[in-house]
Structure 1
Amino acid sequence: MQEDQAWIQRCRDGDREAFYHLVEPLLDRVYSTAAAILRSAHLAEDAVQNALIEAYQAIMKGKEIRYFAAWFKQMAAMRAIDLARKRSRIDRMSEDLEQVEPVDRQAQPMEVLLIKEEQNSLLAQVMSLDIPHRSVVLLFYYQELSLEEISIVLGVKVGTVKSRLHRARLKLLKLYQSDENKKVVQHVGYKE
C-alpha cells in the first residue's frame, strides 16, 4: 500500500514511468477479467484502456486512493460491464462465443478431446448467462477471486455476490441437465 502511494505521488509529480509501474502488475488480470466478461479481446482492450485513462485522470486530479490494486480492478471490471451492457443493447451479444483454434483430432487421444468438448460446453453455458450471473461465475471460478474481492470489483454487497453465484449455479445446472437430455435423445435416435 505504501509503495502504491509512493508511485501515485511520483505520478502526480510528473514522473512518466510511475503510472506504468503502478498498473503494469495488474494489467494481465484486469484484461483477462474484461475479456471473460465481454467475450471479446477487442472490447476487453477498450475496457482496460478506458480504465487506464480514468485511473490516470483520478490520480492527476488528486483523488484519494487507498488500495490502488483493488480500486483499479473494480474500475476495470465496471468498464467491462458498461461495455457489455452497451453492446447487449446494440446487438444482443451476437458475436461468436470465442475463437477456438481447430483441434487436430488425429494428433490427440480421444479422452483429451472429450475433456476439451466438455470444457467448451461448460464455458458456452457460462457465457450464455446474463451479465450479473456470468460476471460472478467468471470472477469466482476462472479468476479465483474471493467473495469479498468480487464484492469490491463489482461494487455490490457480499450477500449479493453469494445470491448471484447461487442463482448462476442453479441456472447452469438446468442448462447442463437440458444438454445431457439432448445428448441422450440424440444417442438413442429419438425424434420428436
Structure 2
Amino acid sequence: MLKKKQTQQSFLRHTLYMLNEEQIIKQAKSGDLQAFQELVEYYSHRIYSAAFRILNHKEHAEDCVQEVFIKIYHKIGSFNEQSKFSTWLYSVAVNTAIDLQRKHARHSQHESPDLDQLEASDRNTPENVAWLANVSHTTQRALMQLSDDVRIAFVLRHHEERSIEEISQILDVNPNTVKNRIFRAVARLREILQPKVGDYETVE
C-alpha cells in the first residue's frame, strides 16, 4: 500500500512539474533560485542514473551531477527556450560524463550499482535482492564493454527513454548514426549476455 501511495505521489509530482516546466525555466533564467532548485530536484536523479551507467562509478556519477548543475546554473541565462530543456541538459551531462571518464581513466574503479538504485521487487526477500544485484551487476559490466559512443546512445535510448531525434541533438550526430549505434549496442549486448541467461533463472 505504501509503495502504491509513493508511486502515485511521484507521478503527481512529475505531472505538476511538466505542466509548469516552461514557467519554472523562465523564472530560473531570471535568477529565481527556488525555481532553479526545482529543476535540480526534478532532474538530478535522472542525470545521476545516466551518469552512473556511463561512468560505472558512484562517486564519479555524483561528481558529474554536481558539475552539470553548476554549469547549468551559470549557462541557463543563455538557454534558448525554443529548444527542449531536457535535450540541452542531457547534452551538458553527456559531455561532462565523458570529460570525467577521461580524467579518471587511469585509475577508475568499477562498482556494482547500489541496491537502492535497483528496481524494487514485489517480493523483496534477501534472495531476490541478491539475485537482482547480481543481474544488475552483470548487465552493467556488459554495458562497460561497449565503446563510449555506442554505450551512451544505448543508455539515452533504453534507460533514459529519449527519442532518436532528441538523442541526435544531444550527441550532435544525425539520427541514422544514432540508430546505428543503438543497433550495434543491442547486438553486442546480446552477444555478451546470451551465454549468461541460464545463470539467472527466476527466483521462486
TM-score, normalised relative to structure 2: 0.67
Which of 64, 69, 81 is residue 80 of structure 2 equivalent to?
64
Shifted more, 2-11 versus 135-144: the winner is 2-11
Query: Structure 1: 5+ residue runs without aligned partners?
Result: 184-192
Q: Identify the residue that residue 112 of structure 2 maps to in structure 1.
A: 98
Q: Identify the residue that residue 155 of structure 2 maps to in structure 1.
A: 138
Q: Identify the residue that residue 35 of structure 2 maps to in structure 1.
A: 18
Letter matched to residue 35 of structure 1: F
Which of 100, 122, 126 is residue 83 of structure 1 equivalent to?
100
Which of 169, 172, 175 is residue 158 of structure 1 equivalent to?
175
Q: CA deviation at 1:75?
A: 1.2
Residues 57 and 167 (structure 1), Cα distance of their counterparts in 2 relative to 1, 3 Å cut = same
TM-score, normalised relative to structure 1: 0.70
> Secondary structure in 2 aligned to 1:17?
helix
CA contact (8 A) 1:26 1:73 kept: no
Q: Identify the residue that residue 8 of structure 2 maps to in structure 1.
A: none
Which of 141, 146, 158 is residue 129 of structure 1 equivalent to?
146
**2-structure distance, mates of 1:64, 1:158:** 22
**2-structure distance, mates of 1:116, 1:12:** 41
Query: Structure 2: 5+ residue runs without aligned partners?
Result: 1-17, 116-124, 200-204
Aligned residues: 171
> Secondary structure in 2 aligned to 1:108?
helix
Q: CA deviation at 1:29?
A: 0.9
Q: Identical aligned pairs, as a percentage? A: 31
Residues 84 and 18 (structure 1), Cα distance of their counterparts in 2 relative to 1, 3 Å cut = same
Does residue 108 (structure 1) correspond to residue 122 (structure 2)? The answer is: no
Q: Identify the residue that residue 67 of structure 2 maps to in structure 1.
A: 50
> Secondary structure in 1 aligned to 2:181?
helix
Q: Which protein shows a greater Rg?
A: 1
Which of 28, 37, 54 is residue 37 of structure 1 equivalent to?
54
Mapping for residues 172-187 of structure 1, pairs under 5 Å: 172-176=189-193
1:101-133 deviations in Å (ceiling 9; x for gaps): 6xxxx9537xx8767645533332122222112
**2-structure distance, mates of 1:163, 1:30:** 24
